[in-house]
Amino acid sequence: MNYMAAEYWVDGGCHNNGSPGATSYGSYSDGKDIVRINWGTAYKTNNEAEYATLESLLTAIHTPGDTQDGPIIYTDSRLLEGQMMENWHIKAPNLQRLAKDCMRLMVNKKAIIKWVSRVEIVERLGH
């Protein structure tokens, strides 16, 4: 995985979304290699898994130099893009800490998030 890439694709999801027995997963890619994460029962919703996977990627990527732009991170989650890039209000208490941590990392890494279709995410991440 190239943790200095200009672009990444990220996705998270959950089996049995919102239920007590939910299990979650995530994956991200630099366009060549794919990292897959099994969150197990740590997160109970698709949105939590999306944020946790974004946080994992943001933690792993290198901080650009002062004169460099940060990476573009593509997601098919309108919620993730809206809350991170358009200052949508974060109503769900279970997302507030994750969103705050992701925003801090995004500023530090100079990252931006852009929405892409589910088709593109499937092409890049294979699910």
pLDDT tens, residue by residue, 53-112: 999 999 999 987 777 889 999 999 999 999 999 999 999 999 999 999 999 999 999 999
Structure confidence at residue 68 (pLDDT): 82
Tally of domains in the chain: 1
Global pTM reads 0.95
Structure confidence at residue 66 (pLDDT): 75
Please report, for the domain that includes residue 71, its CATH number.
3.30.420.10
The answer to whether residue 2 is domain-embedded is no
Percent of the chain with pLDDT over 90: 91
Neighbour count for residue 52 (Cβ, 10 Å) = 21
Structure confidence at residue 127 (pLDDT): 73
